[in-house]
Each structure stands twice: as C-alpha cells, then as structure tokens.
C-alpha cells in the first residue's frame, strides 16, 4: 500500500466519532500532564496501560499519541509563563520564553510555540509517513563514536548560552557537568559523587534541577530583593502575534523542525540536543537588532526554533518504534509494551500486517496536531492571564507546583532538599551574574558524552583514532570545528574586506 | 466522609470473611486491604507486576482494596529499608522485588538487603538471550564461545547497566570458559533501544538481554539468537547455554515479599493468597497478554531458591570486582 | 580598568567555586578503582571536572582580588538592597514543607508553605491565602490519586477525605 492510499484510509477511520473522542481526550490529558513538571507522557501512558484490556487497539493508540503530542505542547506553556519547564525538551524554550513573558510578550511567545509545535508536528508526521523507514536505516549506521562527536558539536554551540562572561559561563557549565556525574557509573557500576546517600545512586533528575535553577532560584532572589509595599504586576501585553512576529518565527519553525526530526529518529538522539542546536543556530542567524533581545528581553526566534525542534524530534521518536520496534525513549518503550499487550509486534512487518492500524494512527497524529493548535491558541489569552495573579500568590503557587512535580513522583524528601538546595545556589548565581542555562546543558550533555566516549573506546579496544577514522564521526567533528571557528573567520574576513 | 465509612464497612466484612477462612471458594475475600509497596517508580516492571496482582486479586474478590506506594531508586535499595522499617510486623503488607534487587543490594553495599524481608512467592521470570547481528561471522554459540575463549577483549558485547543481569550472564559465561570475567569487553547501554540499535547496526559483536526485548528483531531476521539462558529451551529452535557447552542458567525474576517480623501463620496467609491468585484463570490471561513467563514458586522452596541466587550472584559480582 | 580594592562579595563567590572544586576532588578520590576491562575508567571525567572547577575558581578569586566583576554589571549594582525578612520567611516556608510533608501529608504542608511564601512577598491576608492553598492542594492531590493512582504524600487531611490508608 502506498503512503497516499494508506493515509486516506487512515483519515477515513480516524474521523469516526469515537476515534475523534479518544484524540480529544488524549490531547486534553497530554496538555495537562505536560504542564506539570515531573509528570511526563511516559509515566501517564504507563499508568493508563490497563485500559488496553477494555479499549480497542486503535482507540488506545490514538489516546496515547494524543497524550504524547499534547505533553509537548503543555510543557512549553509553563516554561514560558512560570519559568518551570515541564519536561527536558522544553528547558531551552524557557530561556527566551520566560524573558518574553516577563517583558509583556507572553502572548506572542505562547502563540509562536503553539504554531511552531503545529508546524513541526505536521512536518514530523509527514516524515513518519513518507521518510521514516529511509532515515532510520541511515540512523542505525551511527554508533557511540558518532554520538560522541555529536555531543562535541553540541558543546561547541553551548557558547551561545554562556552569557556575557566566558569565565562565569564556563563555571556554570562545569557545575552542571559535576551534577551530571552524580550516581552509579553505567559502564562500571561504581557510585560517583553520591556522598553515601542511597537516593543519589540513580543520579539527579535534570527536570528537577531545571525547576530549581529557574523557578525556585528566581523566587528566592525576588524575595531576597523584595521591596516592602511595592506590588509588582507583570504586564500581559498584546496576545496576538504581530506581523513582524510571524516573519521572525517562520524560518526558525522550519529550521527547528528540519533539525529536530532526524534527531528524534536517531536511537540515541532525543529532544535535548536538537533544541540546543536550534537555539544556537537562531541566535547566530538572527538579524543584529533581534540579537540584542537574546538573553535580555527575550527573542521570539529563541522560542520558535527550539519549540519546533522539540516537537519534530518527538514525532521522530515514533519512527524507529513503528518501523523497527525499537523504543528509543521511555514513552516509546511504554507504547511498545501496549502494542504487545494487544498481541501486535511493531517492526518491519507492521505496515503490512497492521496497515489499517498504523495509517489510522498516523492520520490521528495529524488530527491531534490540528486539535492541539485549535485548543491551545484560544487558550493563549487565558494562560497569559496567569501572570495577572498578584506576585505573592503567583510565586507561592509556583513553589507548590514545583513540590508536586518533585515529591509527587518520588515520595522522597531528599529530592525536595535537592530542589531547595539547588534553588539557593541559583539565587547566589543570579546575585553574582552566573548564567543558569549552562548548568542544565552541562548536566544533559556531560553524561551522554562521557558514556558515548567510553562505549566507543571499549568497542575500539582503546583506540582513540576511532573518532576520526569513522567517516560520519569525522564529518560531524569537522562541522563542530566550523561552528567554532566559522563565525570568527567570517568576522575577520568581513573586517578585512571593510579595511 | 462517606468514603471513609465505606472503608470501615469493608474492613468489617473482611474480618468476618477471615473468620470463615478455610472454605475452598476462590471468591472468598482473604484480605480486606493489602498495602502494596513498589520500590521503583510508577510504570516500570515491578510496578507492572504489583498492579497486575491488584487487578486480578480485586477482580476475583480475593482482596477488598489495595493501597500503593512507590519509592524508586538504586534498584530498590532506596525503597527496601523504608518498607522494612515502616511496615515491620504488618501482616497486610507486600513488597514487589526481584533478581535486580539481589544484585543491587550487593553492589551498593546496602545495610539492608533482600535478606531482610520475608520471601513469599516468585511470580514471573524472563529468560535472557545471546544474540549477534544478522551480518555477524558467528553462526552458532560455539563459534562465539571460541572467540570469547581466545580473546574476550576483542568481542564487544552490549547489554544493560554494569552489574545487572545481562552483565552477570556474560561474567558467568567467561567464568565457565575458564577466563576472568573482568576481561570481558562489556558495553553498557542505558536502555533497550540504544542497545538494540547498536547490535543491529553492528556496532558491537554480540548482545545479551531479556528475550522479549529482542524477540521482534530476531523474528525479523535483524538479529540471530545463538542461545537462551534458561534451564530449558524457551524457543524450540534456539539451544540453551547449557546445551552449548557452558553451565550457565540465569533469569530475571520478579516476585513479592512480606514485611519483616510477621509470624509463621501470617506468612502462610500471604503465601496462600499468592497461590490462590496464581491459580486464577485471570492470572493466566494476564501472563499471556503481558508476555510474562510463569515462574511461580512459593513458600520454603522459594526461600531456598533465593538463597542460592544470592550466593551465586555474590560470587560473580565479586569476580567482576563489583562486590567486596 | 584595574581597581586596587578587592570585592569582598565576589571573593566569596570565587572561594565558593574553589570549595566546590575541593568537594569534587574529595568525591573523585572516593571513587573506587574499577577492576573491569575498560579503556577509560570511571575516574577520568570526574578528575577533569574537578580540575576545571579548581582552575575556574582560582581565576574567579583572582578577578575578585583585582576588584571583582559585580560593580561593573548594572543589573547587580542597581538591584534593591537585600531584604532579610522576606528571605527568611520564604526559607521558613521551604523548611516547613520539608519538615511537615512526611508527618502531616501534602495538603497541610503545602498550605503552610503557601501562606509563608505569600507573606514573604508582602501579602497579609493569611487566612485567605491559607484557604486558597488548602483548596488548590487538595484538588491537586485528588487529581493525582484518583485519576492516576499516584500517591503524593497522604496525611491527616487526605486520610479524613479518602479514608485512612491503614
């Protein structure tokens, strides 16, 4: 069956009343859990798994995919409004998004993220339908050596978030690397930096750290510098995107989606790397007047790009699951077990044996995407109104919210101590102008880079040249060098031409 | 408030039911309330077993109500001490656990281990499988074993985290071959997906993991199964490790445990409950839909099995340098 | 540019980073040598990170001794003066949550925390804040327990509403 015929059959099935109902329920639930930090789509789907006993396979998967896509939308909402990312893919969104919200541009930030998610979700779903199987074959050629080179590329691009001072930015990055080391070493089973606390053996959760650094740290700092009697009300500003907002968002959406999808398809790709690379790219490509907004009043490009990258990557994750039966994220692993509980084995044969189910699923992804943007755009005004809550109740509420996300899942006071402890550190970091974003980035990239490097070296029996003798790895490293030196050489060349 | 009263009501019902114990009817309620402790986050394998037990037992009316608590971390070593101290002597408490907990207790040098809780029953297990990429030069287990015997360092094997079931299996194989388990070139991956991708993509020479993880790849011909790790063949076409010439049997089992300090009759009541659940057709159905292998073993035989498992795990982890 | 007077506060920050490097060294020393066959063991990266932190800490300390950086940053120089009362109230709120969430449960701990944090930001409507917090927290608890079956810390209030877990 070719893709067009498959899709039209899928749409015919998906547009039935009950399937639309499942999609709507999924979108709603997904948005709700995406909003809460700590509650991800993987956990929600796992807890809803028992419904596979009473609901048809098609209905259940439409629901699950709605939750999956919805969570990506919801995660960015709190990133922008409350500076509390709901999941790791929307941490980068918080960088510019929260600054825009603080400067009366919450509406456009939410709108560009919703429309960007829609654009990227659509691009990603088209990718699943038409390109998926091809890309996944290519992605399988990447081994630990290539992944390590990709991390190097990401580390190079981190300079975009290092802030004004390289010294303080690097210190933040190293603090993040240190936090990333906590826990049992995957390759040798040795505990590292755990101070003998058993709760630390599994490492520190990156979403917890992001919430601590962004939300708890900011709340503490504001209280520390609180002026009695001065009630600060944040401006809500205009809700709609202006003409220039549209113009400035368009290419970042496209670039973000193009960057995100292949990363999602990669077995060890994930949503974090493409959001970082997109942020870097948009920051470098933005016109000079927009570049001034990065890190100060918030640039819309810095929301549009990473948000699109996040959603396209999320769609990409479904490709190896559907075509190879390879679960590359926690959510995909849970969905795979749901397939199995229906006696369906995803894999190369799925498109032939379960063609109807797969195409209905893909059609439902399109429908869920439309539903989400239709649901979310009118809500932008309502969400932005959250900022009108008076400061005392707003910040008190944010802290409760952070507690739910942290304590709710783990039932561990140690996690709360970490949340508040890192929050206090973040307060001092703000006082001394240390940027907080590099901490999170070091924490995400550090462990991935270290493990990939050691996996590659074990495979090559200790031969370090593996990183440059494997062609794909070499190419990525050369791109990294170009990203590092390119802008400088270009600048020097420009000066030379001018002088 | 009304909910509260209803709970009291069911509790009273439960008491009277307990008084009539001994009648053979399955539908007889044995416990008004069971507190189910899961030493892992919601959504994982242990959580799945706990919630499956709930579903079956409640559906059959064996247990009135279940109360869940999840405390995850460090292979169960964060939750276990909490269960052991907070539920001491409580006859209505169960904890989910399994072979992962045996290893985690040893490698993490926990002050409290699986020995500090009361074994009730082993419920399920998963057999491991040794695979190679379909393009591999190894056609059968014998060839792979030969390569491992000559130079283990040159055969990179992928699997789950260091010190876990997959790593232990490889260690036992090397030991049986007369090599030091520490010579293994073991590449640990964080999850099933990346490990499978590395094997299919030929990044590593071989892989070890639970059979269900690789089943689809084997069926699709992207991986070749060389041997399974069970006592008997679980796939008629694939020999066991024993048949291939190494005396190694491993499995990843899951079961339930009681709180420390319960007396013999309380322990027997919990064992009877699990035996009753296991006998239900609904449990068979659950095993089938979830793809779990039945490994029911209760009471004293399970306790003996557990002791043997602890001893052999300790030994290989010591050989690997992961235990002192 | 060079200022003779060291900046005390910045010096503290530099020394704190040096201290963090020290902690990293201490913990790197504590990692047991892995006997496993591995080309790069578990210690290399921790040592690199520790060394990086020590170097950065030293550079920051040196910068502080030469006058520091805080004075040059308008955002810091123009920030309002510290408000110890607000900060203390907020920290008390965090501490209250840590201490109370175990024995009293999520709802009551959250109520106390919310009231203290709102007070830190100058809200004196204690009773109203407490009522808002109580309703919101209990609502969130209900959502988690009833919809998802995830227990987020039951205690007194939760027991009264949903029946005691015992």
Tens of pLDDT along A53-64?
677 888 888 888
pLDDT classification of C62: cutoffs 50, 70, 90: very high
pLDDT of residue C88: 95
Smallest CA–CA distance from C159 into chain B, residue:
B4
Which of B257-261, C55-59, C139-143 comes out lowest in average pLDDT? C139-143
Closest approach of A356 to chain C, Cα-based (Å): 30
Nearest to A349 among B48, B187, B220 (CB): B220
Interface subset of C 130-159, CB within 8 angstroms of A: 132-133, 136-137, 140, 144, 148-153
Nearest to C80 among A227, A403, A454 (CB): A227
> Most confidently modeled of B137-151, B304-318, C150-164?
B137-151
Contacts of A454 in chain C (CB under 8 A): 38-40
Closest approach of A197 to chain B, Cα-based (Å): 9
* Residue B130 pLDDT exceeds 80: yes
Within an 8 Å CB–CB cutoff, is residue B165 touching chain A?
no
Give pLDDT tens digits for A310-344.
999 988 888 888 877 777 777 887 787 777 777 77
A179 alpha carbon, distance to own chain's centre: 19
pLDDT classification of C35: cutoffs 50, 70, 90: low
pLDDT classification of A423: cutoffs 50, 70, 90: very high
B254 alpha carbon, distance to own chain's centre: 3
Task: Note whether C160 contacts B183, CB cutoff 8 Å.
Answer: no
The pair of three-digit structure tokens given for residue A132, joined into one six-digit string = 């998926």
pLDDT of residue B12: 35
pLDDT of residue B191: 67
pLDDT of residue B230: 87
Task: Note whether B201 contacts A340, CB cutoff 8 Å.
Answer: no
Q: Which of C55, C93, C118 to mutate to test the interface with A (most CBs of A within 10 A)?
A: C118
Within an 8 Å CB–CB cutoff, is residue B74 touching chain C?
no
Within an 8 Å CB–CB cutoff, is residue A396 touching chain C?
yes
- What are the two backbone dihedrals, phi and then psi, of residue A32, each rounded to the nearest 5 degrees? -65, -45
Within an 8 Å CB–CB cutoff, is residue C156 touching chain B?
no
As a three-state string, the secondary structure of B252-311 is EEEEEEECCCCCHHHHHHHHHHHHHHHHCHHHHHHHHHHCCEEEEEEHHHHHHHHHHHHH
A298 alpha carbon, distance to own chain's centre: 18
Residue from B186, B190, B222 nearest B204 by CA: B186
* Residue A231 pLDDT exceeds 70: no
Strands (E) in A126-193, as ranges, are 183-184, 191-192
* Residue B145 pLDDT exceeds 90: yes
Closest approach of A146 to chain B, Cα-based (Å): 11
Please compute the mean of the pLDDT values over residues B214-233 and round it to a whole number.
87
With tokens 């001018």, the residue in question is A498
Contacts of B196 in chain A (CB under 8 A): 267, 326
pLDDT classification of B153: cutoffs 50, 70, 90: confident
Task: Note whether B188 contacts A187, CB cutoff 8 Å.
Answer: yes
Within an 8 Å CB–CB cutoff, is residue C161 touching chain B?
yes
pLDDT of residue A252: 94
Which of B101-115, B233-247, C127-141 comes out lowest in average pLDDT? B101-115
Closest approach of B231 to chain C, Cα-based (Å): 28
Query: Which chains would you list as touching B if contact means 3+ CB atom pairs under 8 Å?
Result: A, C
pLDDT of residue A257: 93
Regarding predicted confidence, which is higher, B20 or B290? Answer: B290
Is the domain spanning B127-228 CATH 3.40.190.10? The answer is yes
Strands (E) in A376-494, as ranges, are none
pLDDT classification of B183: cutoffs 50, 70, 90: confident
Task: Note whether C49 contacts A395, CB cutoff 8 Å.
Answer: no
Within an 8 Å CB–CB cutoff, is residue C46 touching chain A?
yes
Interface subset of B 273-292, CB within 8 angstroms of A: 289-291
Smallest CA–CA distance from A464 into chain C, residue:
C39
Task: Note whether A199 contacts B78, CB cutoff 8 Å.
Answer: yes
* Residue A232 pLDDT exceeds 50: yes
Fold held by B2-20+29-125+252-319: D-Maltodextrin-Binding Protein; domain 2 (3.40.190)
pLDDT of residue C150: 62
Q: Do strands B156-159 and B185-188 pair parallel, antiparallel, or not at all (unpaired)?
A: parallel
With tokens 């296991």, the residue in question is B278
Which of A81-85, A110-114, A487-491, B202-206 comes out lowest in average pLDDT? A487-491
Regarding predicted confidence, which is higher, A211 or A174? Answer: A174
Contacts of B204 in chain A (CB under 8 A): 459
Closest approach of B106 to chain A, Cα-based (Å): 11
Contacts of C151 in chain B (CB under 8 A): 68-70
Contacts of B153 in chain A (CB under 8 A): 461
Q: For helices C106-120 and C126-142, give the axis angle rounded to 10 degrees.
A: 140
Sign of CA dihedral A273, A274, A279, A282: positive
Are domains B2-20+29-125+252-319 and B127-228 of this chain identical in fold?
Answer: yes
Residue from B7, B26, B120 nearest B64 by CA: B7
Residue from B78, B124, B47 nearest A334 by CA: B47
pLDDT of residue B8: 34
With tokens 């921790």, the residue in question is C46
pLDDT of residue B2: 35
Within an 8 Å CB–CB cutoff, is residue C35 touching chain B?
yes
pLDDT of residue B10: 37
Residue from A328, A323, A372 nearest A348 by CA: A323
Interface subset of C 86-115, CB within 8 angstroms of A: 86-87, 89-91, 93-94, 97-98, 101-102, 106, 110, 113-115
Task: Note whether B216 contacts A43, CB cutoff 8 Å.
Answer: no
> Most confidently modeled of B25-29, B310-314, C35-39?
B310-314
Q: Tell me how far apart the alpha carbons of residues A37 and A34 are, in angstroms, rounded to a whole number.
A: 7
pLDDT of residue C60: 94
> Most confidently modeled of A225-234, A305-314, C100-109?
A305-314
pLDDT of residue A258: 92
* Residue A174 pLDDT exceeds 80: yes
pLDDT classification of B192: cutoffs 50, 70, 90: low
Give pLDDT tens digits for B4-18.
333 333 333 333 333
The pair of three-digit structure tokens given for residue A249, joined into one six-digit string = 């968002």
Please compute the mean of the pLDDT values over residues A7-22 and round it to a whole number.
86
Within an 8 Å CB–CB cutoff, is residue B153 touching chain A?
yes
Q: Rg of the Cα trace of chain B?
A: 21
* Residue C91 pLDDT exceeds 70: yes
Regarding predicted confidence, which is higher, A86 or A176? Answer: A176
* Residue B25 pLDDT exceeds 60: no
Within an 8 Å CB–CB cutoff, is residue A171 touching chain C?
yes
pLDDT of residue C165: 44
pLDDT of residue B24: 42
pLDDT of residue B21: 40
Which of A39-43, B15-19, B259-263, B290-294 comes out lowest in average pLDDT? B15-19
Please compute the mean of the pLDDT values over residues B142-149 and round it to a whole number.
94
Neighbours of A497 (CB within 10 A): 7
Closest approach of C9 to chain B, Cα-based (Å): 39
Q: Tell me how far apart the alpha carbons of residues A204 and A222 are, in angstroms, rounded to a whole number.
A: 26
Task: Note whether C35 contacts B67, CB cutoff 8 Å.
Answer: no
* Residue C161 pLDDT exceeds 50: yes
DSSP run (H or E) holding B169: helix B165-176
pLDDT of residue C147: 64
pLDDT classification of A301: cutoffs 50, 70, 90: very high
Residue from B207, B194, B57 nearest B132 by CA: B207
Smallest CA–CA distance from A393 into chain C, residue:
C118
Q: Which of B7, B44, B64, B167 to mutate to test the interface with C (most CBs of C within 10 A)?
A: B7
Following DSSP, what letter does each residue of C38-91 receive, concatenated? Answer: -SS-SSHHHHHHHHHHHHHHHHHHHHHHTT-SGGG-HHHHTSPPP-HHHHHHHH
Which of A278-287, A402-411, A432-441, B87-96 comes out lowest in average pLDDT? A402-411
Domain extent for A473: 3-498
Q: How distant, in Å, are the alpha carbons of A68, A281, B76 from that of A39? A: 12, 30, 21
Please compute the mean of the pLDDT values over residues B53-59 and round it to a whole number.
87
Which of A92-101, C85-94, C141-150 comes out lowest in average pLDDT? C141-150
Please compute the mean of the pLDDT values over residues C83-90 and round it to a whole number.
93
End-to-end Cα, chain A, rounded Å: 62
The pLDDT > 90 percentage for chain A reads 20
The whole-chain average pLDDT of chain A stands at 84
Closest approach of A229 to chain C, Cα-based (Å): 7
Which of A55-69, A341-355, B71-85, B245-259 comes out lowest in average pLDDT? A341-355
How many A×B Cβ pairs under 8 Å? 151
Give pLDDT tens digits for B266-284.
999 999 999 999 999 989 9
Contacts of A178 in chain C (CB under 8 A): 20, 24, 49, 53
With tokens 């040159």, the residue in question is B154
The pLDDT > 70 percentage for chain B reads 90
User: How many separate domains does chain A show?
Assistant: 1
Provide the residue ranges of all domains of chain B, joining segments of one domain with +.
2-20+29-125+252-319, 127-228
Nearest to C162 among B3, B186, B320 (CB): B3
Residue A39: DSSP 8-state: -
pLDDT of residue C130: 93
The pLDDT > 70 percentage for chain A reads 95
pLDDT of residue B1: 31
Please compute the mean of the pLDDT values over residues A234-242 and round it to a whole number.
77
* Residue A155 pLDDT exceeds 80: yes
């Amino acid at each position: 069956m070719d893709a067009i015929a498959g899709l039209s059959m899928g749409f015919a099935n998906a547009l039935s009343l009950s399937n639309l109902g499942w999609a709507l329920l999924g979108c709603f639930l997904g948005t709700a859990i995406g909003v809460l930090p700590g509650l991800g789509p993987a956990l929600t789907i796992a807890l809803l798994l028992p419904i596979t006993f009473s609901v048809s396979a098609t209905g259940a998967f439409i629901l699950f995919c709605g939750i999956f896509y919805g969570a990506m939308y919801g995660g960015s909402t709190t990133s922008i409004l409350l500076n509390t990312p709901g999941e790791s893919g929307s941490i980068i969104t918080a960088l510019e998004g929260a600054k825009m919200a603080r400067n009366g541009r919450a509406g456009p930030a939410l709108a560009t993220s919703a429309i960007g998610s829609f654009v990227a979700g659509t691009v990603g779903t088209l990718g699943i339908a038409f390109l998926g199987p091809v890309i996944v074959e290519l992605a399988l050629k990447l081994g630990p050596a290539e992944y390590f080179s990709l991390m190097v590329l990401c580390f190079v691009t981190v300079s975009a978030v290092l802030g004004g001072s390289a010294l303080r930015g690097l210190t933040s990055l190293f603090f993040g690397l240190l936090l990333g080391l906590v826990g049992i070493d995957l390759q040798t089973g040795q505990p590292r930096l755990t101070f003998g606390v058993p709760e630390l053996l599994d490492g520190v959760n990156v979403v917890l750290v992001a919430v601590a650094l962004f939300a708890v740290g900011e709340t503490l700092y504001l209280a520390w510098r609180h002026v009695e009697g001065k009630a600060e009300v944040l401006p809500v500003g205009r809700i709609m995107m202006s003409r220039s907002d549209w113009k400035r968002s368009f290419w970042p959406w496209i670039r973000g989606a193009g960057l995100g999808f292949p990363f999602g398809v990669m077995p060890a790709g994930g949503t974090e790397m493409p959001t970082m690379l997109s942020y870097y790219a948009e920051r470098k490509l933005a016109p000079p007047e927009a570049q001034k907004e990065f890190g100060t009043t918030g640039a819309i490009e810095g929301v549009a790009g990473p948000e699109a990258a996040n959603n396209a990557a999320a769609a990409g994750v479904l490709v190896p699951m559907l075509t190879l039966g390879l679960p590359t994220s926690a959510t995909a692993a849970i969905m795979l077990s749901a397939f199995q509980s229906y006696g369906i084995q995803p894999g190369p044969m799925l498109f032939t044996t379960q063609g109807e189910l797969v195409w209905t699923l893909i059609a439902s992804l399109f429908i869920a995407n439309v539903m989400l943007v239709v649901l979310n755009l009118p809500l932008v005004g309502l969400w932005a109104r959250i900022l009108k809550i008076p400061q005392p109740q707003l910040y008190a509420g944010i802290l409760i919210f952070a507690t739910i996300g942290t304590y709710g899942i783990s039932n561990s006071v140690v996690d709360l101590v970490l949340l508040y402890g890192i929050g206090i550190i973040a307060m001092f970091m703000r006082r001394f102008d240390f940027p907080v974003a590099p901490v999170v980035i070091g924490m995400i990239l550090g462990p991935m880079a270290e493990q990939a490097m050691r996996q590659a070296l074990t495979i090559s029996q200790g031969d370090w040249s593996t990183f440059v003798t494997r062609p794909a790895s070499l190419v990525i490293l050369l791109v990294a060098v170009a990203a590092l030196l390119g802008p400088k050489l270009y600048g020097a060349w420009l000066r030379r031409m001018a002088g | 408030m009304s909910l509260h009263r209803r709970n009291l009501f069911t509790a009273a019902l439960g008491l009277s039911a307990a008084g009539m114990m001994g009648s053979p009817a399955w539908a007889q309620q044995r416990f008004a309330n069971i507190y189910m402790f899961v030493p892992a986050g919601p959504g994982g394998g242990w959580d799945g077993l706990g919630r499956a037990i709930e579903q079956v037992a409640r559906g059959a009316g064996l247990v009135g109500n279940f109360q869940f608590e999840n405390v995850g971390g460090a292979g169960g070593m964060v939750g276990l001490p909490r269960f052991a101290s907070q539920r001491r002597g409580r006859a209505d408490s169960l904890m989910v656990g399994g072979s992962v907990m045996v290893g985690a207790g040893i490698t993490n040098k926990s002050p409290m281990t699986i020995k500090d809780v009361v074994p009730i029953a082993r419920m399920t297990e998963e057999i491991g499988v040794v695979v190679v990429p379909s393009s591999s030069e190894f056609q059968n287990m014998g060839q792979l074993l030969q390569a491992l015997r000559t130079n283990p360092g040159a055969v990179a094997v992928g699997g789950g985290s260091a010190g876990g079931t997959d790593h232990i299996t490889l260690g036992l194989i090397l030991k049986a071959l007369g090599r030091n388990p520490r010579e293994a070139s073991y590449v640990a991956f964080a999850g099933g997906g990346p490990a499978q991708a590395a094997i299919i993509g030929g990044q590593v020479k071989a892989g070890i993991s639970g059979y269900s993880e690789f089943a689809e790849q084997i069926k699709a011909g992207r991986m070749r199964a060389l041997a399974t790790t069970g006592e008997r063949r679980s796939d008629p076409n694939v020999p066991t490790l024993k048949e291939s010439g190494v005396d190694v049997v491993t499995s990843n089992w899951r079961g339930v445990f009681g709180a420390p300090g319960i007396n013999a009759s309380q322990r027997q009541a919990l064992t009877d409950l699990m035996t009753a659940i296991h006998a239900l057709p609904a449990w068979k159905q659950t095993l089938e839909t979830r793809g779990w292998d039945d490994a029911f073993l209760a009471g004293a035989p399970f306790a003996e099995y557990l002791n043997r498992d602890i001893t052999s795990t300790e030994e290989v982890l010591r050989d690997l340098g992961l235990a002192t | 540019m060079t200022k003779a007077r060291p900046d005390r506060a910045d010096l503290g920050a530099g020394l704190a980073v040096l201290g963090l490097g020290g902690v990293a060294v201490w913990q790197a020393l504590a990692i047991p040598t892995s006997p496993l066959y591995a080309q790069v063991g578990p210690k290399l990266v921790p040592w690199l990170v520790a060394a990086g932190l020590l170097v950065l800490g030293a550079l920051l300390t040196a910068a502080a001794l030469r006058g520091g950086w805080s004075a040059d940053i308008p955002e810091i120089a123009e920030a309002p003066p510290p408000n110890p009362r607000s900060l203390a109230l907020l920290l008390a709120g965090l501490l209250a949550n840590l201490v109370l969430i175990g024995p009293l449960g999520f709802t009551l701990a959250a109520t106390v925390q919310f009231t203290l944090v709102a007070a830190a930001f100058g809200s004196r409507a204690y009773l109203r804040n407490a009522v808002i917090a109580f309703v919101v927290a209990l609502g969130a608890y209900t959502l988690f327990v009833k919809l998802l079956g995830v227990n987020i810390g039951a205690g007194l209030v939760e027991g009264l509403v949903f029946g005691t877990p015992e």
